[in-house]
Structure 1
């Protein structure tokens, strides 16, 4: 019985660690966008589109939290989005940036690419 509980804990831990460590890459995000385009209006019901949306929302929340933390600390800022509003970006703007990345850069995490885009779009003066 004790071994069974230990095995279950190890299995759950492995799943949690694997899930936390695996981030969507730019290439995976672009592939998901491309697949969604082929679905037409049915894309709105697709689990792939929900996954893209969830990843976008997760990265946006991380970015907003990081910027807020940097402002509070008073140190060097990563980027300087408008103070009065949450940073906004169109889907086409994101697609254009992601597709402009060379193949090697498309292997990077989607999060890193978004952060780089925000740095480019909202540089600190």
Structure 2
């Protein structure tokens, strides 16, 4: 019984520490993009690419939820992207944006960088 409690506590601690450190910085995301690009076709099987895709999916889901909530509340909106599936965002555009960020902004969470990019790409008029 005592072993079970300790195992559960260790698992919970591991989960919390992974969750707390799982958010990539803009610089880490850019480095991973560059590494994936250097792999060529082998990138499709890379765990790095899966991590990149998971992080971008996670952040885009948060972004869409935030925009939907802002639109629903009728308050000011962060940015005004076209409806999902109608706007095209190319990876090269994001990579160029991340590459041009100053060193200090490379240390910010990727989420913040993506939100700033979307505000620049889809400003509200």
Whole-Å separation in 2 of the counterparts to 1:86 and 1:20: 32
Stretch deviating more after TM superposition (73-82 or 105-114): 73-82
Q: 1:88 to 1:13 in 2, by over 3 A?
A: farther
Matched, 1:62 2:65: no
The aligned counterpart of 2:112 is 112
Q: Please give the TM-score of this superposition, normalised by the length of structure 2.
A: 0.88
- C-alpha separation between the residues in 1 aligned to 2:84 and 2:13? 42
Match of 2:33 in 1: 33
User: What are the within-5 Å matches in structure 2 for residues 1-125 of structure 1?
Assistant: 1=1, 3-22=2-21, 23-83=23-83, 85=85, 87-125=87-125
**TM-score of the pair, normalised by structure 1:** 0.88
Specify the SS of the correspondent of 1:104: helix
**How far apart are residue 60 of structure 1 and its match?**
1.0
The answer to whether the Cα contact below 8 Å between 1:97 and 1:117 also exists between their aligned partners in 2 is yes
* Cα pair distance change 1:122/1:12, threshold 3 Å: same
Give the deviation of 1:87 after TM superposition.
Answer: 4.4
Aligned length: 124
